[in-house]
Amino acid sequence: MIDPIVGYCIALGLAMLLLSSGVKKFRDLARFSAVLAAYRIVPARLESVFAIAVPCIEILLAAGLCVASRRRLSLAFAIVLLVCYGIAMAINLQRGRHALDCGCGTLRERQPIARWMLWRNGLLAAAAALALAPASSRPWQAVDGVTLACGLATAVLSYTAIGRLLGTRASDTRHLQGLR
């Protein structure tokens, strides 16, 4: 059993991540379509369908994570989605396509795929699996709202900082390797 606040924090954190990701993809659908095509995972005739379906799925999952009656199903699908993203990146890393954009951000946030992203997606999927565990039935307390808000803030800041740190480090390493 986990504390209900842990489950809420994971679900709402994933909801924020998926909503942000889906909205970014819709804001620049042409760019996301190009990123999706570059992965060479989806058959060319289905790329336009997937380019619209993926952000729709992300936004629907984000909404489902915020509704108690849909949370467990949404967590399960979020795990599948994160694993699929990881598999797509792993396939392309194996192909030696390290400069391929991960598709995680906006045009200004272009970020090449890297092995650390596989770990990130694995940890996010594991967190979602943890949130599927039964929660204790303790009553909600006033301090739980503060705990939830601080937990979400910490998760968002940590996710952003780690992404920037590892993304910058990976870019610097590739740049330095090109100088040799």
Q: 102-105: long-range contacts (C-beta < 8 A, 24 or more apart)?
A: 103/25, 103/32, 103/35, 103/36, 103/39, 104/21, 104/163, 105/24
Average pLDDT taken over every residue of the chain: 89
- Express each pLDDT in 89-109 by its tens digit: 999 999 999 889 888 765 566
- Express each pLDDT in 30-75 by its tens digit: 999 999 999 999 999 999 999 999 999 999 999 999 999 999 999 9
Structural domain count of the chain: 1
What is the residue range of 65's domain?
4-179
